[in-house]
Structure 1
Amino acid sequence: MIDMNRNTAFAIAGICGTAFLGYCVYFDRKRRNDPDFKKKLLETERKQWQTKSSGGNTTVMPDLRDVEAVQKFFLKEVQLGEELLASGDHEGGVEHLTNAVAVCGQPQQLLQVLQQTLPQPVFAMLLEKLPSISQRLATSPAMSSAVPKPEEPSSATITDVDDLE
């Protein structure tokens, strides 16, 4: 009796395994024959490549005219930076601290505090990343709308001083 139950269980397990493999093969073939499959695959690979080539940085800078948004962003970036540094992710922590320095109203004072609190190699990494974040901040849409555009030269003419006398 036990032998028959064991054989039945093996047969059922074999049938289920075969059905599962058939299911996987059927849907894999259906997916690969989909006309949009290659397009979706290339699009996914392109997005992954762009994320890697941009350094994986997807931080969206706040509108620099909105003081409250800048303050929230600053505090969030400092907190994330500290958490990542504490967990051992020095590059991620430095990235967030660099963002905080970039939007800080008094970056020199913040850098002095960071120099005293961070290990020297981590602080050196922070200093290396500052020029790139400043460049990214200058080219961000939030910054370009915050910077006033130079005024057009006026069409006024200069009069001679002799004419006024």
Structure 2
Amino acid sequence: MPAQTAGRIALLTTGLIATGCLGYAVYFDYMRRHSADFRRSIKKQHDAIAAAAEEKNKTERERNARALLAVLDDIQTEAPPISPEQQEVYFQEQVAQGEQLAVMGPEHHVEAASRFYRALRVYPAPIELIQIYKKVVPPPVFNMVIELTMISEARSAAGGDFAMPPQAAPSIEDLDDSSPPSSSSPKADSATSGTSWEKLDAA
């Protein structure tokens, strides 16, 4: 019967594949145990793969660093909203866009970080917001936000012009501290704390 023939062929094929895999595993184990040249060859292959991966990571880090500098240059030419109402709307828009971009893959991480950073610029208590970001933003994107903040802080110390309020610029120690913000952290006053901002503080 055709169906029976097809079943036997499939079973035979599966058996041949399994036998081949088992045979290769036995051969590989034997050579690994008894051949120094084989072990050296395997080590060279592993080293080559590791070196290629490291080179790829290095290239990606350098590309991201250049992209972050370009993004920060663009951000610093933008005039942030002034009124509390405008700031709150702007904040919500930037966070929403950042969340959408963050889940779209690594190629969108720089742009996602730029959105979260823009939101950070106008938030009344940026150090507290960084602690919230640390909990909810994907680590690669969060690290880029921190890098943008630190570059901006370094430019400020060197006399550059950027928009983060001086009292709000987090220090390196603040960024590394995983503990909850202390009572001395900047707080949003009642004039700038809308319902949505208060909900975020409670996150």
| Fold shared per TM-score above 0.5 | no
Instruction: Give the TM-score band, short-chain normalised.
Output: 0.3 to 0.5
Higher RCO, 1 vs 2 (CA within 8 Å, ≥6 residues apart):
2
Asked which structure has the greater CA Rg, the reply is 1
Give the TM-score taking structure 1 as reference length: 0.44
TM-score (norm 2): 0.37
